[in-house]
A and B are shown apart, each in its own frame.
Chain A
Amino acid sequence: AQSVTQLDSQVPVFEEAPVELRCNYSSSVSVYLFWYVQYPNQGLQLLLKYLSGSTLVKGINGFEAEFNKSQTSFHLRKPSVHISDTAEYFCAVSDRDSSASKIIFGSGTRLSIRP
Chain B
Amino acid sequence: DAGVIQSPRHEVTEMGQEVTLRCKPISGHNSLFWYRQTMMRGLELLIYFNNNVPIDDSGMPEDRFSAKMPNASFSTLKIQPSEPRDSAVYFCASSLNSGNTIYFGEGSWLTVV
Contact = CB atoms under 8 A, between A and B. Distances in A.
Contacts of A105: 35, 42-43, 45
Nearest to A94: B98
A26 interface: no
The B interface, classified by DSSP as helix, strand, loop or mixed, is: strand
Interface in A81-115: 90, 94-96, 98-105, 107-108
Interface residues of A, number: 23
Interface residues of B, number: 25
Contacts of B31: 100
Nearest to B6: A43
B101 A46 contact: yes
A47 B43 CA distance: 17
B55 interface: yes
15 contacts: A32-B98, A43-B93, A44-B93, A45-B104, A94-B99, A96-B98, A96-B99, A99-B97, A100-B31, A100-B50, A100-B98, A103-B45, A103-B95, A105-B42, A108-B42
